[in-house]
Structure 1
Amino acid sequence: MTTIDNIISDRGSKYAVSGAPCASEDEAKALIKDLCRTKKFAKATHNTWGLLTPEAPVKNDDGESGAGMVILRMLEREGLENHLIVVTRWYGGKHLGGDRFRHVQDAVRIYIEDLRGA
């Protein structure tokens, strides 16, 4: 799994984005479990993710309500199937309101640009 760390910082919250080729929900869960073997990611407040498969889209908000859908929409827009994207947030003590969705979008955009070599 590729991880791009410390990409966004806002009011104490910090973000990272990770991803890997992935063909199923079970494989996604295994990849996330592997990611969380790293203590830093295991202690994260949220590991939200999305995955487009030919069968159906799969997402998990991990307590960050609505974030999985933001990831899915971006995957759909890019036509990126069979690729898991995980946005990790470490809560910094202050609520971000709607800015959290902008940060999720920015994190996914950074990952996709890196993936495509932009």
Structure 2
Amino acid sequence: MKINQIGHVVTDRGSKYAVSGAWAQDRAAAEDVLRRVKKARKFARATHNTWAVLLPDGTPLKGDDGEAGAGMVILRMLERAGLRGHVIVVTRWYGGKHLGGDRFRRVQDCVAAYLDAFGPF
């Protein structure tokens, strides 16, 4: 399974963001994509890897990895795009300053960049 990646989407107050994704037809496949992203040398030291997927049957799965609410942001964008069976992972390297609600805008920027780069699905 091929994982699509955009290595550097945005920087905000020192925090850097990247986005990855791949087809995932079930929980095991989504977890495998997440494991492979985290294992990649470039992403191994990331602070957060938030993710979400709408399984083909409509079951939502998400993980915040310490970024409370970020998985839901990804999930809502997948729902709006009508994209099922595709997991998206937003990676953040913390830059030392809290972003507050702006962190959700950066997650949205990453998902939008991914959908633009690799869609239509």
Q: Give the shorter-chain TM-score range.
A: over 0.9
SS in 2 for 1:68: helix
**Deviation digits for residues 52-105 of structure 1, max 9, x if unmatched?**
011510000001000000000000000000000000000000000100000000
Where do residues 98-117 of structure 1 align in structure 2 (5 Å cutoff)? 98-116=101-119
Q: 1:44 aligns with which of 43, 46, 55?
A: 46
Gaps of 5+ in 2: none
Q: 2:28 aligns with which of 20, 26, 33?
A: 26
Aligned residue in 2 for 1:73? 76
**Cα drift, residue 109 of structure 1:** 0.4
Aligned residue pairs, count: 117
**Deviation digits for residues 11-69 of structure 1, max 9, x if unmatched?**
10000000011111111111111112212212100000000011510000001000000
Q: Does 1:91 align with 2:61?
A: no
The residue type equivalent to 1:99 in the other structure is: D
Alignment TM-score, normalising by the size of structure 2: 0.93
Structure 1 CA distance, aligned partners of 2:36 and 2:108?
24
Aligned residue in 2 for 1:3? 5
**Hey, which bits of structure 1, 4+ residues long, moved more than 4 A?**
none
The residue type equivalent to 1:51 in the other structure is: V
Structure 2 CA distance, aligned partners of 1:39 and 1:59?
23
Distance 1:99 1:49, change over 3 A: same
Identify the range of structure 1 (31-40 vs 85-94) with the bigger mean alpha-carbon deviation. 31-40
Q: Does 1:56 align with 2:59?
A: yes
Alpha-carbon RMSD across the aligned residues, in angstroms, is 1.0
Structure 2 CA distance, aligned partners of 1:10 and 1:62?
19
Gaps of 5+ in 1: none
